[in-house]
């Protein structure tokens, strides 16, 4: 979840709008208010909204705007709810254009859906084993690597050209490496620069 959010933050930084969060309540019925009609997606992305901090996503306070993309990370305790109840609510009540689920401990249990004529249609992975988010213009890929000191198979974003969307830390490290290379080309040892 954190890796998907961290990389989406980097991607959204290039835009003038947009919001990403996770494990945050999304309230979707003013009539029911805060007591019943809400869900807490693991990751959700909303485009075409002002960039600002929020305590929760309240659809009626956001001009009726619901998430553009929702991702649920399956676990033994949430699998059935994510695949049935939540999927139905995202389709019928929130009208989320794209819904994905992924089991971090069983990467084969990975599916994507796009809303077509009010009903979720299952998406197929492309030739590179990626799900393409048409809403975001990005792909989701399984990625073997280290994040926050843990090496495993992660789910993360990449461009349609196959370049990983970097975390904030990865982007900073990449900029530092480029700067060090330029300094060396000028005959300056980057370790001696104060």
pLDDT digits (tens, 9 = 90+) for 99-148: 999 999 999 999 999 999 999 999 999 999 999 999 999 999 999 999 99
> How high is the mean pLDDT of the chain?
92
CB-CB contact of 118 with 94 (8 Å): no
Q: What are phi and psi of 107, to 5 degrees?
A: -55, -15
Helix axes 168-185, 2-12, angle to 10 degrees: 60
User: For 115, which DSSP code?
Assistant: E
Q: Each residue of 34-87: pLDDT tens digit?
A: 555 567 899 999 999 999 999 999 998 999 999 999 999 999 998 999 999 999
147's tokens: 């994040």
CB-CB contact of 48 with 17 (8 Å): yes
Q: What is the pTM of this model?
A: 0.89
Residue ranges and CATH numbers for the domains of the chain are: 2-189 (3.90.1570)
Please tell me whether residue 174 adopts helix, strand or coil conformation.
helix
CB 102: neighbour CB atoms within 10 A?
23
């Amino acid at each position: 979840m954190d890796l998907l959010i961290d990389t989406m933050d980097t991607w959204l930084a290039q835009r003038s709008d947009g919001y990403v969060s996770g494990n945050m309540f999304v309230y979707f019925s003013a009539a029911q208010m805060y007591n019943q009609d809400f869900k807490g997606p693991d990751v959700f992305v909303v485009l075409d909204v002002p960039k600002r901090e929020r305590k929760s996503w309240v659809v009626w306070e956001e001009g009726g705007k619901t998430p553009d993309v929702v991702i649920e990370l399956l676990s033994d305790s949430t699998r059935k709810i994510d695949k049935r109840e939540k999927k139905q609510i995202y389709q019928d009540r929130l009208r989320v254009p794209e819904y994905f689920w992924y089991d971090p401990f069983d990467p084969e249990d990975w599916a994507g859906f796009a809303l077509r004529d009010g009903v979720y249609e299952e998406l197929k992975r492309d030739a590179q084993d990626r799900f393409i988010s048409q809403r975001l213009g990005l792909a989701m890929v399984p990625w073997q690597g280290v994040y926050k000191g843990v090496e495993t198979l992660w789910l993360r974003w990449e461009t349609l050209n196959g370049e990983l969307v970097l975390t904030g830390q990865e982007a900073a490290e990449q900029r530092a490496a480029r700067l060090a290379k330029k300094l060396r080309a000028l005959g300056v040892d980057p370790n001696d620069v104060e």
